[in-house]
Structures are given as structure tokens and as C-alpha cells.
Amino acid sequence: MIGPNLLQRTPGQKQTPSGMIHQNGPPAASLGKFKTKEACLDACLSQFPRTCFSVTHYGEGSLAPPGNLSLHCFAVTSEYYDWFPAFDRLGTRNVSSARVWHGCQAADDCAQNGECADGACACKSGWKGVACTQLDLLPTLNGQDAGYNYVTDEQNVSSWGGVPLRDESGQFHMWVSHFTQHCGIIAWGENSVVLHTTSSSLLGPYTPANGTVEASTVFPIFSHEPDVKRGPNGEWVMFFSHHVPNTGRKECFCKNGVTPASDEACHDSATPDTNPTAMSWSSSPWGPWSAPVIVIENTSSDSNLSPLIRADGSLLGLWRSFNPAAPAAPEGWKVSSIHTVRATDWKDPSTYELQDHWQTVDLFGASGGAGPLQGPTEDPWLFEDSNGTLHALFHNMYGCYPCCGHAFAHTNSTGGLQFTYTGADACGPFVDHMDGSTTVLGRRERPHLLFDELKRPVMLTNGVTVCPSEGDEAAYCPDPREHDRSWTLAQPIRTV
């Protein structure tokens, strides 16, 4: 297996001023077919000697999504840091990459997660890497104690991520997408509810807040992918995909957190009504919650909405659309594209306005790309750091190698937001535990952070699955129906 390369270049050789980078997505190139990663890298440096920033090489017979890319070589030819991150423990995927580091000139080159000094990045608490693009994750609790990994009626239950918050008393809360009837992630379109869980400690275990799943269900089927943010007057505000009753779907019945492969009525897809996005709020994390109101609809997909609510009551959010790709893309490929939404009053649905031309325009240029450059970002989660800079986490849409993407934003000359995508290596598929063991994940999605009183990130949560693996290698899951047992993982982040 070929490991990652890191080529060093002096800061003086950098070709593009920091403020000019990443305008509409990554100029990228398909360089053809090569037998090795080294040959792929040589081709990039030969064709783009001053603008070759990274390459990804698919080995012979590679099964990495979307498939049929054996021996293909792709290059990023703008300062897009880690669009193709360094694959260091991915033997069964047979994919590898290399980066060319040009040094930093300003904090933007450190992903706004660090400061630049003498061409090198000094990362802030919670971040690491040459460009501060990686979360500084620590070993987590063992077994089923980390996050929400619940057992009821002597059977596992599955869930798909949750948003953690701490109340004024120090109690930890997490609202998760919980799948009823012991079903797995495949049945998310039929069995998802929003469940309130709590823990007395940061990492968990998180358990149903009111003692039982039934008593702790905040919103019934179909309710999915909640994001909870605080309002300007201390409100607890939830945004989630929601449709009751669940049009055209029947609840699935499963065992031990796994959806039976034989049940063709359980689909790994959204409901026919495309899952409108609802908003509800409460003055307490314990409820009662207001009647949900629809704030986004008719977008051809679940929106994955993640907003921030300002002190003046206005709202800024990120959401995604999911549409068929351009003709140049591989057959069956779809694009998950990220857009903005704004509202003058977070409580008034009539003030919510989607980004102009969202059907054809997105923040990272995915709609105009092709092949593996299309649709890399899903599940946006928007947050603000201690300096007031906006950031977002995502998950890598097609595969967990690595799993989590990151971006930051500045306000441009017209008052709009210019997001810079810094790469997909914020988190990866390998989770170390305090007992020295390692869990190899097949999927790691729905990223959310919890911050301490100094606004330092202290915990990452994700919806995760595990696929069969051989030793210390991440395994490709050719049939997700066979491996859809899922749970909500919590992992601590180093603070300094």
C-alpha cells in the first residue's frame, strides 16, 4: 500500500495572494491513467509546476465510490488544500494521494483555525495539521459508552447523528435521529424520529432523557436530522426534516438495529414528498416544543439545514440540494450542492429566502464539475468561532476516506459570503479508544461540535457505521443493506 507524500515548497513560491483563492470551486484536472501514485504526482508537477496542489490516484481494480476509476489520476490545480486528502490507511479501497504544501502567508492559509508565522501555521485549540484542517481528536470511551449507542428489549437500536448542547446547569443534551422498531440506517426514510437524550458527562453514554424511547420522542415519524441552536433570548430552536404522516411509507420492522435485506419496502432514500424542513422552538431543552412550521420545501431533497440565529433575530443558514449530475459525470452520479438561506426573523417562515439560482449555482462549484469532483459535501453544520469567523463542517458525500470536510467564510465586497473549502480531512474513518483498540468506520456523517465556555471545540459527534475490515484497513461496503447497523458516536477533542 502506498502511503501519503508531503512535498515542501517555500512560501515565496506561492503564486496566488491569499485573498484571491478558491473563488468558485477547485480548478481540477483528470490527468489520465497511471500505474502508480508517484507517476500521477510527476504528471501533475510536470503539467502544472506552480499550481499542482494535490493528486489522488485510484489503484488498479479500485472499488472506491463511484467505481470504474481504476488507475485514474486526478489533480487539484488551485489552492484548495485537501480536496483530495492524504489517504494513509485505506488498503482495501486502493486509493492514495499526495499534497504539495506551499506554506502560508495569512490566517486564511491556515483555514482560519490558526495563525501564520514565518510560513508555518500555529493551530488554535482543537485543530492540527500543516494547514490546521484536521480536528485534534483524542481516544474516546470504549464499547457502547461513547455517544448514543443504546440497547432496549435486549436488542441494539440504531441512530444517525445528534447535535449536542449543554444547558445552564451543566447537563449535556443531544437530539438524535433514532430509528424505531430496531431498524438500521437503510430504513431512515420510514422509521426516523427525533429523540431527546441526555448524559451527566461529556462523552456519554447518552440515554433517553425521560427514561424510555417512547417518553423521550420529541417528534414522531417522519422526523430526521435535527440541528438545535440557541435563539437570541435563550430559546432552544430545532430545525429538522419533517412530514407527518409519512406520505407513501410504512414503518419497517427489524431486529437488533439491522434492516433485513429481504425487506424491499425499506428504502435508503427520502420520502416522495422530498422531506420539507421544519422549525420548532422551546424555552427549555425539556420542552414543550412549539408546533413545527415549514421553512424550506420543494427542493427535491431533504435540505440538511443548519443555521445560525443572530442577536437581532435574523438567520443565516447552509442547506443542500441533491440533483442528477451533469452529463460528463459517471452514470448514476448525483450532486449534493451547498447553498445559503437567510431570514430577517427566525420565527417567521415567510421571511426565509433561499440563495438565488440555487438550482444551478452553489457555494463550491460542484454543480459545474464532473466525476469525483461532484457532490463532495453533505450535512453542512454551520458555526462561529471565538473571533466571529463563520465555519462549516460537512461529510464527504461519496465514501469515508477521510470523512469530514471543513470550510470558512468571509464577507465579500457586496455583503455576501465567500466560503473557502479547506478539504475533507477534518475527521477520518479510524476511531481510537481509551483501551488502545481502534474502530474502523464504514460511514461517518452528520458532524456536529460541542464548544466549551471559551468557544473551544471539545467534542465531535457523527452518525457512523462499521463495515467488515481486515486489520488496520478501512473497508469498502459494496452492499449497505448488509452493514446498516448505525449509532451516534461521540469523540473528544484536545484543548490547549
| Mean pLDDT taken over the chain | 82
- Domains of the chain, residue spans: 5-103, 151-492
Helices and strands in the chain: count of H runs, count of E runs? 3, 32
Residue 245's pLDDT is 81
CATH class entry, domain 5-103: alpha beta
Residue 83's pLDDT is 42
- Residue 118, phi then psi, degrees to nearest 5: 55, 40
What are the CA-CA distances from residue 474 to residues 186, 334, 478 (Å)? 20, 24, 13
Residue 254's pLDDT is 92
Residue 23's pLDDT is 31
pLDDT at 335 over 90: no
Give bridge partners of residue 446 from the DSSP assignment. Answer: none
Q: Residue 384 CB: number of other CB atoms within 10 A?
A: 15
The set of residues, in sequence order, having a beta carbon less than 8 Å from that of 417 and lying 6+ positions away, is 316, 340, 390, 409, 410, 411
Phi-psi region of 473 (alpha: psi -120 to 50; beta: other; left: phi over 0): beta
pLDDT at 317 over 60: yes
Residue 43's pLDDT is 94
Cis peptide before 85 (omega within 30 of 0): no
Average pLDDT over residues 136-149: 94
pLDDT-derived band at 305 (thresholds 50, 70, 90) equals: very high
In this structure, of 260-274, 316-330, 332-346, 465-479, the range with the lowest mean pLDDT score is 465-479
Q: How far is residue 184's CA from residue 206's CA, in Å, rounded to a whole number?
A: 18
The set of residues, in sequence order, having a beta carbon less than 8 Å from that of 347 and lying 6+ positions away, is 281, 313
Distance of CA 395 to the CA centre of its chain: 2
Q: How far is residue 105's CA from residue 80's CA, in Å, rounded to a whole number?
A: 15
Average pLDDT over residues 412-424: 77
Phi-psi region of 211 (alpha: psi -120 to 50; beta: other; left: phi over 0): left
Identify the residue with better confidence: 93 or 228: 228
Residue 336's pLDDT is 81
- Residue 477, phi then psi, degrees to nearest 5: -100, 95
In this structure, of 185-189, 223-227, 353-357, 465-469, the range with the lowest mean pLDDT score is 465-469
Global pTM reads 0.85
Q: How far is residue 400's CA from residue 386's CA, in Å, rounded to a whole number?
A: 29
What residue type is 1 in one-letter code? M
What confidence tens digit (pLDDT) does each residue in 344-382 have?
999 999 999 998 788 777 887 665 544 344 445 789 999
pLDDT at 17 over 50: no
Average pLDDT over residues 135-141: 98
In this structure, of 10-24, 119-133, 372-386, the range with the lowest mean pLDDT score is 10-24
Domain 151-492 has CATH 2.115.10.20: yes
Residue 329's pLDDT is 55
Q: What angle do CA 258, 263, 268 make, to 5 degrees?
A: 70
What confidence tens digit (pLDDT) does each residue in 438-496 have?
888 888 999 999 999 999 999 999 999 886 554 444 444 545 555 789 999 999 999 99
Identify the residue with better confidence: 19 or 480: 480
Phi-psi region of 101 (alpha: psi -120 to 50; beta: other; left: phi over 0): beta
Instruction: Quote the strand ranges of 285-437, DSSP E.
Output: 293-296, 306-309, 315-324, 334-343, 353-354, 377-384, 390-396, 404-411, 417-427, 430-432
Q: How far is residue 385's CA from residue 125's CA, in Å, rounded to a whole number?
A: 11
Here the cell at position 415 is 455583503
The set of residues, in sequence order, having a beta carbon less than 8 Å from that of 200 and lying 6+ positions away, is 171, 172
